[in-house]
Amino acid sequence: MNYTTQMNAARKGIITKEMDTVARKENIDVDRLRELVAAGKVVIPANKNHTNLEPEGIGEGLRTKINVNLGISRDCCNIDLELEKAKKALEMKAESIMDLSSYGKTQEFRKKLINLSHAMIGTVPVYDAVGFYSKELKDITVREFLEIIERHARDGVDFMTIHAGINRSTVERFKKNERLTNIVSRGGSLIFAWMELNNRENPFYEYYDDILNICEKYDVTISLGDACRPGSIHDSTDASQIEELIVLGELTKRAWEKNVQVMVEGPGHMAVNEIPGNMILQKRLCYGAPFYVLGPIVTDIAPGYDHITGAIGGAIAAANGADFLCYVTPAEHLRLPTLEDMKEGIIAAKIAAHAADIAKGIRGSRDWDNQMSKARADLDWNRMFELAIDPEKARRYREESVPAYEDSCTMCGKMCSMRNMKKILQGENINVL
């Protein structure tokens, strides 16, 4: 292998087996895909040590992908349950799983997850540092932070969230511009605390070149974390968010100089009318790098329903240029998600991603909808269930409310428009009584 990363191969004119796989999945010319990878507008997260990976592309002209978060915490540390969630996420065809474990020696879970998963795996190494070293945050050294990053890379993690954009300048901007919800990024708040407690620069910013060397070695894609993402619609598109975004653009170019693939993370909580402009701003300031958004959550009043607020924002964001959606579950802000919460979050995110792909004109995206519409016109219920994004729920709803006439449902009965139009157009009489 005479290349170091997917980006390095693309720039050398080499088509890797991962590029070949992604091109087939996306029905895109492989040479065009290679050009996009070379330019940094598409990433193929594929750690050299993740041997059972079925690679996916994220970025310009490709289907919108979704990510599922899971992992153990101090209050919920059942590894078997989290692995069960991972299996369900894979069954539901999620393209990515992030291990956000934040308690104890998490390497055991991470290795099991990587060995299990054919989907790409992401992590946030700063979460792992406290538990791994059994040290208070302020006592963790720069060397130890870098060791954790290399450990995750060596284990086979395909992409890592690195909060390198919150430097001393960003911190000063944050302090001068009061927020309603301060810094809500868990990783961002940990880095901010470390900086304040030690009166030092962010180690991920100061030693960014060392991190790039690790990522190049294993071909880990950097997901540049947005420490200052808004945690409420009140704080969106403020000075702290934009200051950090400018830094993330600079860090993107530095990564590309070392052939390291980059995604950029984005908001967060954001009113609907601000989302399109933010997508344009991110793409301009970060030179077209793929954009990875959490939600955005479009209103702050719906605990228990944030899979819906997130899906609304996600559809708008992706339709306006976001490439990768992090799912949001009904448990957001309330608890660690259950298996059922996770399923609802996946379905909501998949709906948002597909709706956006239709808007973006992604190849073949409308075909699925057209097939469903034909099945409805034909009153072909089994075909409708096969095509449904959640066949199990669709079939259950039908079985729970059985109509008197098989070619209708209990909503309309003999007044069903599909049924009656079909009969009339075939020259038959209809009786709606």
Q: Is 43 helix (H, G, I), strand (E, B) or coil?
A: strand
Which tokens belong to 321?
């240029």
- Assess contact for 126 and 133: CB atoms under 8 A: no
Residue 269, annotated ligand binder?
A: yes
Write the CATH number for 264.
3.20.20.540
Q: Please determine, for residue 47, whether its predicted confidence score (pLDDT) is greater than 90.
A: yes
Which residue, 330, 360, 390, sits at the end of a domain?
360
Domain endpoint, select from 345, 360, 375: 360
Asked if 110 and 231 sit in the same domain, the reply is yes
Residue 69 marked in a binding site = yes
- State the average pLDDT over residues 265-277: 97
416 annotated ligand-binding residue: yes
Q: What's residue 45's pLDDT?
A: 98
313 and 384 in a single domain? The answer is no
The reply to whether 238 falls in a domain is: yes
Task: Decide which of 360, 377, 400 is a domain's last residue.
Answer: 360
What digits encode the pLDDT tens for the residues 110-120?
999 999 999 99
When pLDDT is averaged across residues 91-100 and rounded to a whole number, the result is 97
Mean pLDDT of 368-396: 96
Task: Check whether residue 311 and residue 384 sit in a common domain.
Answer: no
Q: Which of 154-168, 325-339, 401-415 has the lowest mean pLDDT?
A: 401-415
Residues 376 and 356 in one domain: no
Reported as half-sphere exposure (CB side, CA atoms, 13 A), residue 389 has a value of 16
- Tell me: is residue 195 an annotated ligand-binding position: no
Q: Is residue 218 part of a domain?
A: yes
pLDDT of residue 73: 86
288-346 pLDDT tens trace: 999 999 999 999 999 999 999 999 999 999 999 999 999 999 999 999 999 999 999 99
- The verdict on whether residue 333 carries a ligand-binding annotation is yes
Q: What is the pLDDT of residue 366?
A: 97
Q: Look at residue 408 in the predicted model and tell me its pLDDT.
A: 85
Region 396-408 average pLDDT: 90
Domain enclosing residue 417, as ranges: 365-425
Q: Any binding-site annotation on 186?
A: yes
Query: What is the percentage of the chain residues whose pLDDT exceeds 90?
Result: 89
Helix ranges restricted to H, 156-305: 168-176, 186-198, 203-206, 208-218, 239-257, 275-285
Give the Cα separation of 370 and 391 in Å (integer). Answer: 17
On whether 185 is known to bind a ligand per the annotation, the reply is: yes
CA 267-270-271 angle, to 5 degrees, is: 160
Q: Quick one: how far is CA 284 from the chain centroid?
A: 20
State yes or no: 205 annotated in a binding site.
no
Asked if the model's pLDDT at residue 27 lies above 90, the reply is: yes
What mean pLDDT is predicted for residues 55-65? 98
Same domain, 271 and 377: no
Examine residue 431 and state whether it is found in any structural domain, yes or no: no
Residue 98 marked in a binding site: yes
- Model confidence at 74, pLDDT cuts 50, 70, 90, reads confident
**Residue 176 burial (CB count, 10 A):** 9
Question: Is the separation of the CB atoms in 228 and 235 below 8 Å?
Answer: no
| Domain membership flag for residue 1 | no
Residue 371 has pLDDT above 90, yes or no: yes
> pLDDT at position 160, please?
98
Query: Which pLDDT value is given to residue 306?
Result: 98
> What average pLDDT does this structure show over 224-242?
97
Are 387 and 353 found together in one domain? Answer: no
pLDDT of residue 77: 85
Residues 216 and 158 in one domain: yes
Same domain, 351 and 382: no
The answer to whether 412 is annotated as binding is yes
Do 291 and 282 meet the contact criterion of CB atoms below 8 Å apart?
A: yes
**Is residue 150 assigned to a domain?**
yes
Q: Does residue 144 sit in the same domain as residue 289?
A: yes
Are residue 352 and residue 403 in the same domain, yes or no? no
The sign one gets for the Cα dihedral 13, 15, 18, 23 is positive
Nearest to 123 by CA among 50, 61, 192: 50
Instruction: Please give the Cα distance from 309 to 243 (Å, whole number).
Output: 26
What three-state secondary structure class fits 90?
helix
Whether 105 shows a pLDDT value over 80: the answer reads no
Q: Has residue 93 got a pLDDT over 90? A: yes
What is the average pLDDT score of the chain? Answer: 96
The average pLDDT across 78-87 equals 94
Domain count, the chain: 2
**Residue 433 within a domain:** no
Strand partners, 294: 326
Asked if 391 and 406 sit in the same domain, the reply is yes
430 occurs within a structural domain:
no
- The pLDDT value recorded for residue 407 is 83
Q: For residue 192, what are its two tokens?
A: 């901010």
| pTM given for the model | 0.96
Range with the poorest average pLDDT among 100-109, 146-155, 386-395 = 100-109
- Per-residue confidence (pLDDT) for residue 414, from 0 to 100: 87
Question: Is 229 annotated as belonging to a binding site?
Answer: yes
pLDDT at 433: 77
Q: Are residues 347 and 399 located together in one domain of the fold?
A: no
The answer to whether residue 229 scores a pLDDT higher than 80 is: yes
- 432 occurs within a structural domain: no
**Packing angle, helices 186-198 and 125-133, rounded to 10:** 60
How high is the pLDDT of residue 225? 98
Q: For residue 430, name the pLDDT band (cuts at 50, 70, 90).
A: confident
CA distance 414 to 420: 8
